[in-house]
């Protein structure tokens, strides 16, 4: 009989958790006025949309842009109505001096309620089988998608602990599986594990850590432009060209570009999740914003043996 006690306690806990969450969600939402949020990767895509949304809600927004003089940054300032509570700053997350300068700017312009949120949104993506990409590309992706988020988080952690704020990370359902973009999948899987460790460690300080996991929103962002077979072929080493022919590369390019074309154009769905992570009295640890078939793939990956997932993905690639 006693052997069944742990199982019963687990079932009871699973039943009570949703009730506890409902009670907490009944509490008043956060008051944005006088609170600052820093967002990386605001030149376009989700970061751009989120900066405008948070500005409209009343937050003081520090919008990190790779090109602060570029079209995206200028449009952001124009759409926000000029200066005031939205400041555009140069922020290349791979450069420690940019991160330090961003922190100094935030500290010198903190509103009365302090620093509330850090949104690690900046990221890059590309397509290519493992041997097609040079080591320099792997290093660049790790620096932007993984180390860039860690670099920024470490810099702002003292402020977040002081004000018991929120940290939001942009991940992807691609953290669970890959369909021709293993390099992107690799970095997202790594950032998920970094977040899992950070979330547990920050609980004692009252800092909450949330992960956003979008599905295919390629049409909502500029993170992954279509690639032609000729572009891919021209970048292959001679060793890879000896293994793969142009017809195969064309097939893979057509397959990947077709996936991109099916992406949702409604980026506001992802931004809704990011806003909830920053303002809800009971934010989720993970927000999966994806189509039903994408969620099904994640379900299969998480619960079924690897051989099943390999069969599913191999079938998809063969088509």
Which residue, among 236, 260, 264, has the nearest Cα to 248 in the 3D structure? Answer: 236
Q: Exposure of 309 by Cβ count < 10 A (0-12 exposed, 13-18 middle, 19+ buried)?
A: middle
φ and ψ of 119, to 5 deg: -115, 110
Q: Can you tell me the distance from the alpha carbon of 250 to that of 262, in angstroms, rounded to the nearest whole number?
A: 18
Q: The tokens of 301 are what? A: 């990956």
Which residue, among 128, 140, 123, 125, has the nearest Cα to 234 in the 3D structure? Answer: 128
Q: Can you tell me the distance from the alpha carbon of 171 to that of 270, in angstroms, rounded to the nearest whole number?
A: 11
Catalytic residue among 163, 176, 184, 287: 184
Which residues in 73-207 belong to E strands, given as ranges? Answer: 86-90, 115-120, 166-170
- In the residue annotation, 138 being an active-site residue is answered as no
User: By three-state DSSP, how is residue 289 classified?
Assistant: strand
Catalytic positions, written as ranges: 184
């Amino acid at each position: 009989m006693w052997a069944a006690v742990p199982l019963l306690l687990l079932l009871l806990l699973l039943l009570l958790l949703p009730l506890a969450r409902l009670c907490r969600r009944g509490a008043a939402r956060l008051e944005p006025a006088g609170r600052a949020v820093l967002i990386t990767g605001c030149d376009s895509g989700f970061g751009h949309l989120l900066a405008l949304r948070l500005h409209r809600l009343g937050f003081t927004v520090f919008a990190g842009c790779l090109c602060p003089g570029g079209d995206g940054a200028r449009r952001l300032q124009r759409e926000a109505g000029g200066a005031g509570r939205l400041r555009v700053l140069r922020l290349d997350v791979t450069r420690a001096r940019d991160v330090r300068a961003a922190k100094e700017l935030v500290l010198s312009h903190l509103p009365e309620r302090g620093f509330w949120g850090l949104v690690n949104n900046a990221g890059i993506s590309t397509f290519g089988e493992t041997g097609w990409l040079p080591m320099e590309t792997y290093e660049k992706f790790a620096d932007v998608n993984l180390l860039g988020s860690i670099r920024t988080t470490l810099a702002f952690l003292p402020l977040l602990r002081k004000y018991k704020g929120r940290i939001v990370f942009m991940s992807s359902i691609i953290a669970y599986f890959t369909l021709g973009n293993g390099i992107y999948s690799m970095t997202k899987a790594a950032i998920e594990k970094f977040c899992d460790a950070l979330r547990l460690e920050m609980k004692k300080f009252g800092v909450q850590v949330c992960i956003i996991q979008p599905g295919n929103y390629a049409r909502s962002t500029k993170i992954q432009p279509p690639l032609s077979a000729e572009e891919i072929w021209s970048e292959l080493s001679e060793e890879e060209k000896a293994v793969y022919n142009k017809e195969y590369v064309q097939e893979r390019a057509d397959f990947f570009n077709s996936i991109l074309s099916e992406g949702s154009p409604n980026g506001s769905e992802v931004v809704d999740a990011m806003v909830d992570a920053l303002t809800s009295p009971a934010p989720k640890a993970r927000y999966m914003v994806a189509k039903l078939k994408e969620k099904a793939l994640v379900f299969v990956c998480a619960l079924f043996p690897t051989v099943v997932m390999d069969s599913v993905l191999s079938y998809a690639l063969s088509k």
